[in-house]
Amino acid sequence: TSSFSNENIPMESLEIGDLLGEGEYGEVYRGKLRTSVHEFLDVAIKTLKTEGEMSDWKKNEFLTEARTMLDLKHAHIVRIIGICWSPKTYMVQELCELGSLQDFLLDSPELINPKKHFRKWAQQIAQGMVYLQDRRFVHRDLAVRNILLSSVEAVKISDFGLSRALGLDSEYYTASQGGRWPIKWYAPESCTHGTFSHATDVWSYGITLWETYSFGATPYGEMPGKEVIDMVEKGYRLEKPDHCSDPIYRVMRSCWSKNPVLRPTFRFLQNFFDDANNHDEVAPAL
């Protein structure tokens, strides 16, 4: 463990390296954090665009994300190591060497063994979501673009900009419309009533599974969000991806039950995708 208080990383301890990607709030860099005289930790440094370029609302979202993530410690959730406040605001995170799952699915399919890795990732994401649910958090932005890979064997949930803690007396959170809404990942009750719950995260998890088994394809293709809402309302659902077995597709479909009560729980999903359970199709007896 480092000697830094989590909240406050001095700029002198940070060394900023190559650009990793562009986020909504600013650039993300690879970097090093000095943890003692001779020790450095590889990290990802998320920058916050400077004043003027960014609304207070967006800035708040960035800081909400940072504060939320400071409290979350789980093998399948991206760790935030701390925040550097001056002269600029940086969020220092654990480095996920292989980048986003979306890019990995699209750019490196040859490194993936679908039968082995898709199930493993699905299980790990469900594990992380059980942890979040136990802390009464709804994520609200589960999608392959928001899953990062430390290695081919380990995924981590990231992007907590939209996540919210549920009140003690409520099983759902009501959001006012505004900002970016990933409609294609949202359950019908989120789109129409702005309600978010563990069950709406399960719907998004189903879409994330579909994206994974489709090697990063866009759900509903080019169809505009408004049309997707109508189609889903009428009962239309995404089709079975090529690399997906029937039992796994059935689980995906159950995540997209119109009635939230009929969707599986993350605990069920965590068990379902456990290595010990085999969901590959059994060859029909001759």
Q: Which residues are annotated as a binding site for ATP?
A: 46
Instruction: Give me the sign of the Cα torsion angle 201, 148, 144, 24.
Output: positive
Q: Name the residue among 90, 101, 113, 106 with its Cα closest to residue 43.
A: 90
Q: Which of 9, 25, 83, 260 binds ligand ATP (CB under 6 A)?
A: 25
Rg over alpha carbons for the chain, rounded to the nearest Å, is 20
Of 19-27, 211-219, 254-262, 272-280, the segment contacting ligand ATP by CB under 6 A is: 19-27
Per-residue interface string for the shown chain with ligand ATP, residues 41-60, x marking contact by CB under 6 A? ---x----------------
Between residue 120 and residue 139, which ones bind ligand ATP under the rule CB under 6 A? none
**Nearest to ligand ATP of 20, 232 (CB atom):** 20
**Nearest to ligand ATP of 43, 191 (CB atom):** 43
The reply to whether 105 sits near ligand ATP by the rule CB under 6 A is: no
Q: Which of 159, 189, 201, 211 binds ligand ATP (CB under 6 A)?
A: 159
Q: Name the residue among 111, 113, 132, 100 with its Cα closest to residue 208.
A: 100
The reply to whether 100 sits near ligand ATP by the rule CB under 6 A is: yes
Smallest gap from Cβ 19 to ligand ATP, in A, equals 9
- Three-state secondary structure string covering the chain: CCCCCCCCCCHHHEEEEEEEEECCCCEEEEEEEEEECCEEEEEEEEECCCCCCCCHHHHHHHHHHHHHHHCCCCCCECCEEEEECCCCCEEEEECCCCCEHHHHHHHCHHHCCHHHHHHHHHHHHHHHHHHHHHCCEECCCCCHHHEEEEECCEEEECCCCCCEECCCCCCCEECCCCCCCCHHHCCHHHHHHCEECHHHHHHHHHHHHHHHHCCCCCCCCCCCHHHHHHHHHCCCCCCCCCCCCHHHHHHHHHHCCCCHHHCCCHHHHHHHCCCCCCCCCCCCCC
The reply to whether 212 sits near ligand ATP by the rule CB under 6 A is: no
Q: Which of 7, 10, 24, 227 binds ligand ATP (CB under 6 A)?
A: 24
Q: Which of 68, 124, 127, 146 binds ligand ATP (CB under 6 A)?
A: 146
Smallest gap from Cβ 235 to ligand ATP, in A, equals 30
Per-residue interface string for the shown chain with ligand ATP, residues 58-97, x marking contact by CB under 6 A? --------------------x--------------xxxx-
141 is catalytic: yes
**Nearest to ligand ATP of 15, 94 (CB atom):** 94
Smallest gap from Cβ 181 to ligand ATP, in A, equals 12
How many residues belong to the site for ligand ATP (CB under 6 A)? Answer: 19
The site for ligand ATP (CB under 6 A) is made up of 20-21, 23-25, 28, 44, 78, 93-96, 99-100, 145-146, 148, 158-159
Give the active site residues: 141
